[in-house]
Amino acid sequence: MDCSSLFRLDGRIALVTGGSRGIGRMIAEGFLAQGATVYIAARKAAACAATAEELGPNCIPLPVDVATVEGCRALAAALAERETRLDILVNNAGAAWGVAFEEFPEQGWDKVMDLNVKSPFFLTQALHPLLTAAGVDRPAKVINISSIDGQRLNPWETYSYHASKAALIYLTKRMAARLVRDRINVTSIAPGAFASEMNRAARDHGDAVAQAIPAGRIGEPEDMAAAAIYLASRAGDYVVGETITVDGGLVHAALGTSIDG
């Protein structure tokens, strides 16, 4: 058994949405280190271009907003102009909204559900021809970035975020059951506390957040990159429909407890 190349991504074409910062950037950087060509999509063109320049010539910016079905189709069309296949799609772009129950607005519901659930489905649908073209000798990969907030409660009133991430975990299973026949493996990663614009508590108060984590620290970029590389590479070719939790044990520590008191 030769395991020397199990985690390599040489020659593979990847697309990471929300790839200009946070978890998306961590994954993009990991893919690049393993030999992939990585397209990163983001809503802000300047940030997308700046990140691509920082990560090197094999990182290519595609500044498209995937918050709508039209945006998803536009991103798929832009990629199709450059590539004849797509080996790896990471549906990472997401949003959160936290407001008290009595005041939670429809806008906060629709924005989060559209970007966190609707967009991964319709972007994968729009990219289906390119993903199918890649799944010849080895399966293509779709990796949805969910959250431990789809598996347990957090202390904040993020109603649509909780609902969206739980929905994405089960959407992953449903999509996996259908797309595996096209040699496309769909999986999910549920991150815990990683420093990002969305998780400002981990970003700005990492030591305090780490006190509740059994591993004693927040996640590092290598932790997220490693999980994504595993699923994207030959090492993960036999994993279908599953969610890998990357949280230092936080979900298991919270089992059987009531966050609201």
Q: pLDDT of 5-44, one tens digit each?
A: 999 999 999 999 999 999 999 999 999 999 999 999 999 9
Q: Strand pairing of 59-62 and 37-41?
A: parallel
Is there a contact between 232 and 143 (Cβ–Cβ < 8 Å)?
Answer: yes
Cα–Cα distance for residue pair 149/166, rounded to 1 Å:
7
Average pLDDT over residues 201-230: 83
| 11 phi and psi angles, rounded to 5 deg | 80, -5
Query: 39 - beta bridge partners?
Result: 15, 60
What is the share, in percent, of the chain residues with pLDDT greater than 70?
A: 92
CB-CB contact of 28 with 59 (8 Å): yes
Task: Say yes or no to pLDDT of 125 above 60.
Answer: yes
Please write the tens of the pLDDT for every residue from 68-122.
999 999 999 999 999 999 999 999 999 999 999 999 999 999 999 999 999 999 9
Residue with the bigger pLDDT between 249 and 196: it is 249
Q: Which residues are catalytic?
A: 161
Handedness of CA 216, 218, 220, 226 (dihedral sign): positive
165 neighbors 150 (Cβ within 8 angstroms): yes
